[in-house]
Amino acid sequence: MDINQLLRKNIQDLKPYSSARDEYTGEAMVFLDANENPFNQPYNRYPDPLQRALKEKIADLKKVDSNTIFLGNGSDEPIDLLIRAFCEPGKDNIVTMNPTYGMYQVAADISGVEIRKVSLTSEFQLDTTALLAATDENTKLIFLCSPNNPTGNSLNKEDMLKIVETFKGLLIVDEAYIDFAPGKSLLPELGSFDNLVVLQTFSKAWGMAGIRLGMAFASVQIIGILNKIKYPYNLNILTQQKALELLDQHEQVIDWVKLLIAERDEMTTELQKLPFVVEVYPSDANFLLVRMYDARGIYEYLVEEGIIVRDRSKVHLCDDSLRITVGSKEENITLLTTLKNLI
Ligand code: PMP
């Protein structure tokens, strides 16, 4: 597939901004090229625009080549960049599933790009026939999310592979919650499909939502396009430093994930015992979608008690459902005790 053929014409023709540090090679001792202030080191310097040190470490961890990685200000950044690179406003369109993460729609709306939403089945799985039928010659991107937000389940791998094999545009699989679903990532498939993009993030299992660091994995060509249109210094020095530190202690993340999965299972059992809970849907993520009688009433009661969960009761296929993040043991006990007081 010729990815360049899919690109918007203005992006094909774009001459990207060239930052001061891109314009020389070799070792340097004195930097008088970027109008920085010599005081207040090391924050006086612009960060590495391509975050090379950080990408090397992530490449080791994920067992991919570092030039197949794009790093962004959260994974929301590559979502937006992919739309802006490939979709001509008012002409091209995007296909996604319903329900799913809301930013695909928001980013498409901001860019003035049509988004077509295809319902999941009642098991929250893909209807691959309907999804492919919703595409036409102007469909540039398909966004899937696995494990899915807000339903919590992983999509069937064979369904996603069928789509990437058949579709003539890019398939983007958002794996923000993949660390809670070991063995289910499409990352090992990257080498087989030059139209596949996998998104992951440091915001969930890594516990670093505050530093804003998201990853896109794709062919060298797609990564080159994202690099071409991003803000030159999209990741600040503090984010890069903090991520490097945590990557050195990644056993800690494995422990957090184990703990959160154990808590998720415990919460599932306890929530199922409550008389007003209809169903706790199986989850591969760090949250549970819970169907209950009078979800809105329970949501408002919890807010009054100072506990905030996410009301998804107006979302397609999620009638009467709240989305509850798995917190610390103490937080989860507080939630359960507060809910038991309703009985
Ligand atoms: N994808 C999904 C499915 C999410 O649920 C979220 C955040 N809630 C994101 C992406 C955004 O992640 P980030 O913090 O990396 O921008």
Q: How far is CA 193 from each of CA 4, 128, 188, 222, rounded to the nearest angstrom? A: 15, 18, 10, 12
Residues 291-306: pLDDT tens digits?
999 999 999 999 999 9
Q: What is the pLDDT of residue 62?
A: 97
Q: What is the pLDDT of residue 25?
A: 83
323: tokens are 């989305």
Going from the Cα of 118 to the center of ligand 1, the distance in angstroms, rounded, reads: 20
CATH hierarchy code of domain 3-248: 3.40.640.10
- CATH, domain 251-340, list 2.170.190.11, 3.65.10.10, 3.40.50.970, 3.90.1150.10: 3.90.1150.10
| Nearest residue (CA) to ligand 1, atom 6 | 176
Domain ranges of the chain: 3-248, 251-340
> What are the C-alpha distances in Å from 216 to residues 19, 55, 73, 186, 312?
22, 11, 11, 12, 28
Q: Are 316 and 247 in contact (CB under 8 A)?
A: no
Per the DSSP assignment, residues forming a β-bridge with 119 are 98
**CA 300 to centroid of ligand 1, rounded, Å:** 25
> Tens digits of per-residue pLDDT, 108-133?
999 999 999 999 999 999 999 999 99
State the pLDDT at residue 23: 81
The minimum-distance atom of ligand 1 relative to the CA of 76 is: 16
CA of 71 to the centre of ligand 1 (A): 14
Q: Is 101 in the pocket of ligand 1 (CB under 6 A)?
A: yes
Q: In 201-305, which ranges are continuous DSSP H helix?
A: 220-229, 237-247, 250-272, 295-304
Q: What is the pLDDT of residue 26?
A: 86
* pTM for this entry: 0.97
d(CA 69, CA 96): 23
Q: Which amino acid is at 271?
A: L
The CA distance from 83 to 200, in Å, is 17
Q: What percent of the chain has pLDDT over 90?
A: 95
Query: What pLDDT is attached to residue 295?
Result: 97
Ranges under pLDDT 50 in the chain: none
Question: What DSSP assignment string belongs to 215-235?
Answer: EEE--HHHHHHHHHHS-TT-S
CA of 150 to the centre of ligand 1 (A): 11
